[in-house]
Amino acid sequence: MSNKTSQFDKILNTSYQHGKVEHEPDSSKEVQLNTPEKTMPFSDQIGNYQRNKGIPSKSFDNSKVYIVGSGIAGMAAAYYFIKDGRIPGKNIIFLDQAHIDGGSLDGAGNAEEGFIVRGGREMDMTYENLWDIFQDIPALELPEPYSVLDEYRLINDNDPNFSKARLIHNKGTIQDFSTFGLQKKDQLAIVKLLMKKKEDLDDLTIQDYFSESFLASNFWTFWRTMFAFENWHSLLECKLYMHRFLHAIDGMKDFSCLVFPKYNQYDTFVTPLRKFLVEKGVGIQLNTLVKDLDMLINTDGKLVKGIMTVQDGKEVEIPIEKDDFVIVTTSSMTEDTFYGDNTKAPIVEINKSDSGQSDGWKLWKNLAAKSEVFGKPEKFCGDIKKSSWESATLTCKPSAFIEKVKELSVNDPYSGKTVTGGIITITDSNWLMSFTCNRQPHFPTQPDDVLVIWVYALFMDKDGDYIKKTMPQCTGNEILAELCYHLGIIDQLDNVVENTIVRSSFMPYITSMFMPRAKGDRPRVIPEGCTNLGLVGQFVETNNDIVFTMESSVRTARLAVYGLLNLNKQVPDINPLQYDIRHLLKAVQSLNDYQSFPGEGILRKVLKGTYYEHVLADNKEEKEENESFFMEQFGKLQVWFKGL
């Protein structure tokens, strides 16, 4: 806006940087040197310096923004269009085929009919983009001037999260989960994977790379059940996860690395963000199906001219003017959810031959048919057997099941504090069943005598150990029977069924983002040549971030806004802790279960008494240091030098 920057014209008009910001810097490729040309922060140099207010190149007061999909990615886009783009909230309109906003961040129901959440959120303190938003969104329960982030910190700073029963087996007996149990070759395989270039991992699966001993280790049980990885999923995505959570590896055994919200994901995040946007004038138009985009594609680029919708059974085209923008959420991980209850199993009316035919996938497929820059959706929605699992939400009154949960919990479930501290995994379950009880109440309207507990199974396509059916074939009561069997209370099943409401959810595409992929399978946030279209959500390409997190959805939204408006702001790359020598050493120690690694004794002696002696954690068990390999090589080196 020239009238807003006129006092800086002498600098801006002669600058070779102005208007040429790299909105998505890549820390995996950047050499971090200070030079006269390096005027902006390094790619992952996070902090308050990145909190500058973006100055649009012109006024967008008359621009309209249409956002397809009202999940966290779409809501984040609206937030950044208002905050950094200075676009009036009244000019922003959501279009969503659902009857309620929030996308996959759902949470609904009541104590009489049963509550339901299809999934939950394990949060990390390094979600810079997510916390960038919620440090400015007014709190749900605290008075002004407090924010959602303030509430989050208040609860987690004073109620530490951890589990005392991360793994159980043998009818509810707590299993030793103190070690990762990785062989040396498997530790080395992780190190080698971290060193590999991303482009060398196209279409490879986890089982293509890792050995059987790795796949049978405690480490992989922790990892796969926490993040929902299957052996046939993308090795590239697994690598990105290892970089993203390198700093948290030592806390994955007992979940002490995580922070959880007070309530469910909808009430914690969607409710306050929606309220903020609506108060800014943002419109939310539900029950509106977006079928396709009318695009002009030529040598000048790719321009959206209209949005093809169905409203109240009628086809309506929304014209897109010159300075308007369109944001599209490419499909959804919770598309085509099938539901069940205590006496009814989910009726799954979909298979491999007709998967990916729902409206969300069709919109992406229609875009992909226009140009290869829009990716290959069939890579992700083509095999629901490999992308699906089922969850169940239990609304529980006091019963034998609750008494068993108390035995496995850190605090009394009715205390309002951390309960199980994350999922408890049943390792001898054919379904590889896990369940969790988060802080209660999980819903603001929840009665005092009710607990909400969440269950899911990673191998739900196998027959159960007690109920000889796959999980999707089971009614809610049969799921309870399988759970009670593994908890050693099957003789009290009638009591549990009488006091538990079950609402189950079969999700065909819940891990479709993890399917093996190659470069070009996912579109960029702003596909090549697009001038008024941004793609957001879980199925778009970013440099180094992962999928299946709120953080990655917010990142895509921020990239879309900054890129389309060409703001003088960057979206920092993921938190740089993967390059921190302290966390690298901690990861080595943790993966080796705190046994001495080769050369550790020498390193301790070098660091002892220096400023850096704290970078190695103390061994949890005093053991004789094993330096034989290092000393052998050091001796050979001495002989070689003497020879010289």
113-137 tens-digit pLDDT: 999 999 988 899 999 999 999 999 9
In this prediction, residues 175-201 reach a mean pLDDT of 97
66, 79, 241, 594: which is the annotated catalytic residue?
Answer: 241
Q: What is the DSSP string of 117-169?
A: -S----B-TT-HHHHHHHTSSBPSSSPTT-BHHHHHHHHHHSS----S-SEEE
Q: Is 520 buried (19+), middle (13-18) or exposed (0-12) by CB count in 10 A?
A: middle
Of 12-16, 69-73, 445-449, 543-547, which range is least confident?
Answer: 12-16
Residue type, 524: R
| 446: CB partners within 8 A, 6+ apart | 111, 115, 440, 452
Mean pLDDT of the chain: 94
Find the angle CA(388)-CA(114)-CA(267) to the nearest 5 degrees: 80
122, 378, 625, 627: which is the annotated catalytic residue?
Answer: 122
Q: Is 468 buried (19+), middle (13-18) or exposed (0-12) by CB count in 10 A?
A: exposed
Query: Could you give the CA distance from residue 375 to residue 372 in angstroms, rounded to a whole number?
Result: 6
CB 498 within 8 A of CB 399: yes
Q: Do β-strands 65-68 and 92-95 pair in parallel, antiparallel, or remain unpaired? A: parallel
In this prediction, residues 536-556 reach a mean pLDDT of 97
Q: Quick one: pLDDT at residue 54?
A: 85
Q: Quick one: pLDDT at residue 633?
A: 60
261-303 tens-digit pLDDT: 999 999 999 999 999 999 999 999 999 999 999 999 999 999 9
The structure tokens listed for 88 are 């009036």
Query: Could you give the CA distance from residue 519 to residue 107 in angstroms, rounded to a whole number?
Result: 35
Q: Say whether pLDDT at 1 is over 80.
A: no
Is residue 478 annotated as part of the catalytic site, yes or no?
no
Helix (H, G, I), strand (E, B) or coil at 495: helix
Query: Could you give the CA distance from residue 438 to residue 455 in angstroms, rounded to a whole number?
Result: 12
CB 139 within 8 A of CB 146: yes
Domain borders along the chain are 108-161+260-266+388-507, 167-251, 596-643
Q: Say whether pLDDT at 623 is over 50.
A: no
Q: Say whether pLDDT at 600 is over 50.
A: yes
Query: Could you give the CA distance from residue 168 to residue 434 in angstroms, rounded to a whole number?
Result: 10
Q: Quick one: pLDDT at residue 355?
A: 81
Count of alpha carbons within 13 angstroms of residue 393, beta-carbon side: 25
Is residue 241 annotated as part of the catalytic site, yes or no?
yes
Q: Quick one: pLDDT at residue 482?
A: 98
- Could you tell me which residue, 12 or 222, shows the higher pLDDT? 222
Query: Could you give the CA distance from residue 312 to residue 285 in angstroms, rounded to a whole number?
Result: 12
DSSP state at residue 82: H
2-45 tens-digit pLDDT: 566 788 888 888 888 888 999 999 999 999 999 998 999 999 99
Nearest to 422 by CA among 577, 266, 251, 250: 251
Query: Could you give the CA distance from residue 151 to residue 147 in angstroms, rounded to a whole number?
Result: 7
| 137: CB partners within 8 A, 6+ apart | 147, 148, 149, 272, 273, 276
Going by pLDDT thresholds of 50, 70 and 90, the confidence category of residue 254 is very high
Query: ω before 516 within 30° of 0 (cis)?
Result: no
Q: Say whether pLDDT at 624 is over 60.
A: no
Q: Say whether pLDDT at 543 is over 50.
A: yes
Count of alpha carbons within 13 angstroms of residue 329, beta-carbon side: 34
Q: List strand residue ranges (DSSP E) for 330-446, in order.
A: 338-340, 389-396, 424-426, 433-436
Length of the chain: 644
332-391 tens-digit pLDDT: 999 999 999 999 999 888 877 778 888 889 999 999 999 999 999 999 999 999 999 999
Going by pLDDT thresholds of 50, 70 and 90, the confidence category of residue 634 is low
The structure tokens listed for 2 are 């020239």
Q: Say whether pLDDT at 554 is over 70.
A: yes
CB 213 within 8 A of CB 238: no
The structure tokens listed for 414 are 């009715």
Query: Could you give the CA distance from residue 555 to residue 557 in angstroms, rounded to a whole number?
Result: 5
DSSP state at residue 515: S
Q: Quick one: pLDDT at residue 638?
A: 66
**CATH code at 108-161+260-266+388-507:** 3.30.9.80
In this prediction, residues 458-468 reach a mean pLDDT of 95
404-435 tens-digit pLDDT: 999 999 999 999 999 999 999 999 999 999 99
Q: Quick one: pLDDT at residue 18?
A: 86
pTM for this prediction: 0.94
Q: Quick one: pLDDT at residue 133?
A: 97
Q: Say whether pLDDT at 621 is over 50.
A: no
Q: Quick one: pLDDT at residue 3?
A: 61
The rounded percent of the chain whose pLDDT value lies above 90 is: 87
Helix (H, G, I), strand (E, B) or coil at 67: strand
